[in-house]
């Protein structure tokens, strides 16, 4: 009976720690994905500045690593749980592309890069502030629940 109790408690502790780690990992994932978007946007800027490719080809090439972006008929959707805070920014950026001159397109991209960098900075602050907290909360929560169960 005691052994079963111990196993149960361990299971609770491990599960809670795992959830905490997942939450913490999501912050790192967000940063990683935002960096991929930033790389893509910089590449897109270069493609548009070169003026050799149509927009859909330029986007496909520039964002080939961003598998979390879904290319629909005439819009691009960001369906990723890690980027839920950045979804509207990214989708709005793509919806405004392609209807104007090279100079204005480049200005639009530069403006987006600035906004994206703010989000990136925010995500880095989140990592610093929240990542450890989530992990500790997971372990502590698990231990508390375990003690209560005993």
Partner 1 sequence: MPNEFNNAIMQTTEKIKRTLQFIPDDIKQCCEEIRLREGKPVCLTVKGRVLFVCESSAVCDVLPKNPLIISKEELQKSLALLCKNSVYLHEAEIKQGFISLPNGGRAGVCGVFNTEGMLVAVSSINIRIAREIIGCANDLFPYASGGLLIAGPPGSGKTTMLRDLIKQLSNGECGRYYRVAVIDSRGEISGGGALDLGINTDVINSGDKAAGTQMALRTMFPNFIAFDELGTAEELESVKECFNAGVSIITTVHCGTKGEIFTRELIMKIINSGAIKTVAFLSQNLGEKPLILTYSEIKNNVYN
Q: Binding residue for partner 1 (CB under 8 A) from 15, 19, 25, 98? A: 98
Does residue 109 touch partner 1 according to CB under 8 A? Answer: no
Decide whether 103 or 117 has the Cβ nearer to partner 1: 103
Q: Which stretch binds partner 1 (CB under 8 A): 6-14, 25-33, 100-108, 124-132?
A: 100-108
How far is the CA of 149 from the CAs of 5, 18, 32, 77, in angstroms? 8, 19, 38, 45
Q: Which residues inside 41-70 make contact with partner 1, applying CB under 8 A?
A: 48, 51, 53-56, 58
Does residue 73 touch partner 1 according to CB under 8 A? Answer: no
- Site size for partner 1, by CB under 8 A? 15
Shortest gap between Cβ of 19 and partner 1 (angstroms)? Answer: 43
Which residues lie near partner 1 (CB under 8 A)?
48, 51, 53-56, 58, 74, 97-102, 105
């Amino acid at each position: 009976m005691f052994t079963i109790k111990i196993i149960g408690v361990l299971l609770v502790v491990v599960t809670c720690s795992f959830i905490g780690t997942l939450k913490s990992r999501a912050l790192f994932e967000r940063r990683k994905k935002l960096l991929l978007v930033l790389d893509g946007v910089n590449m897109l800027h270069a493609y548009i500045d070169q003026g050799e490719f149509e927009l859909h080809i330029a986007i496909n090439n520039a964002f080939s690593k961003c598998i979390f972006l879904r290319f629909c008929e005439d819009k691009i959707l960001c369906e990723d749980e890690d980027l839920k805070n950045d979804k509207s920014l990214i989708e709005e950026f793509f919806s405004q592309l392609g209807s104007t001159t090279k100079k204005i397109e480049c200005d639009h991209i530069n403006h987006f890069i600035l906004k994206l960098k703010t989000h990136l900075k925010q995500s880095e602050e989140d990592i610093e502030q929240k990542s450890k907290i989530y992990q500790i909360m997971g372990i502590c929560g698990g231990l508390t629940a375990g003690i209560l169960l005993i």
